[in-house]
Amino acid sequence: MKKADIITGIVLLALAGYLMQEALGMPPSRTFGPGSGFLPFWLGIILAALSLILIATASLRRKAGPDGPVFPGKEGLLTVVKVLGGLALFTLLMETLGFVVNTFIFVAYLMGVVQREGWRSVFLTALLTTACLYIVFHVLLGIALPRNMFGF
């Protein structure tokens, strides 16, 4: 993994440089406050710093033995397919089921089917996650969330 981490760090460092260059080309703000390139530029700096940390830690790491496989095996690939399939259904069913019901089902699916947690913790986590997301987005930020035919 040492070689893979170094290559990944170099690729991400190049991406960060491109991001910062493009952000500097964005027009400055005409009013008081940061322009449109402010956030992408600083995200590029953060990405560059994290890339350098990855390269440095990978370079200083001793090679302990043979690297394991880079790509997941059958079980790992099945987990990835389950998550992506659940995410696709979550997206497709948002307008039909509404935010509250759809988010509850999605979190319960991820924890119960994909991670195979106990159903008590699945129910509690799905309920708390859905409630927290609803409070943040609908109550605090005032964002209109999709509703089902029953109004929630």
Q: Give the tens place of pLDDT for each residue, 137-148.
A: 888 888 888 887
pTM to 2 decimals?
A: 0.60
Number of domains in the chain: 2
Residue 128 inside a domain? The answer is: yes
Inside any domain, residue 16: yes
Q: When comparing pLDDT for 30 and 49, which is higher?
A: 49
Domain-ending residue, one of 32, 60, 88: 60
Check whether residue 56 and residue 90 sit in a common domain.
no
Distance (Å) of CA 31 to CA 19, 28, 40, 84: 24, 9, 19, 42
> Do both 135 and 82 map to the same domain?
yes
Over residues 5-42, the pLDDT tens digits come to 889 999 999 999 999 999 988 877 767 767 778 889 99
Per-residue pLDDT reduced to its tens digit, 83-125: 999 999 999 998 889 899 999 999 999 999 998 889 999 999 9
80 within a domain of the structure (yes/no): yes
What pLDDT sits at residue 148?
79
Looking at the fold, whether 50 and 86 belong to one and the same domain comes out as no
Same domain, 8 and 50: yes
Judgement on whether residues 131 and 90 belong to the same structural domain of the protein? yes
Domain assignment of residue 8, given as a range: 2-60
